[in-house]
């Protein structure tokens, strides 16, 4: 069973719940866990392209836990 933690963010417009990976992506952090196969590689590339399109000058951080 995979349990994905949720975080609650407060703003002037109210509360919003995010899964932890979406919240980290908002801070330009990409988490990579497990063996890197085609599906995971495509998801990582999509995240990198998305973040680069948002702001090509800002750093992107990757944390990798892969055999």
If pLDDT is split at 50, 70 and 90, which confidence band does 2 have?
Answer: confident
The full 3-state SS of the chain, as one line of letters, equals CCCCCEEEEEECCEEEEEEHHHHHHHCCEEEEECCCCHHHHHHHHHHHHHHHHHCCCCCCEEEEECC
pLDDT of residue 1: 61
pLDDT of residue 3: 86
pTM of the model: 0.84
pLDDT in tens, 4-56: 899 999 999 999 999 999 999 999 999 999 999 999 999 999 999 999 999 99
């Amino acid at each position: 069973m995979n349990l994905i933690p949720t975080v609650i963010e407060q703003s002037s417009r109210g509360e919003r719940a995010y899964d932890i990976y979406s919240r980290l992506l908002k801070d330009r952090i990409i988490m990579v866990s497990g063996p890197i196969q085609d599906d995971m590689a495509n998801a990582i590339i999509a995240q990198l392209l998305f973040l680069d399109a948002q702001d090509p000058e800002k750093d992107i951080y990757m944390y990798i836990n892969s055999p």
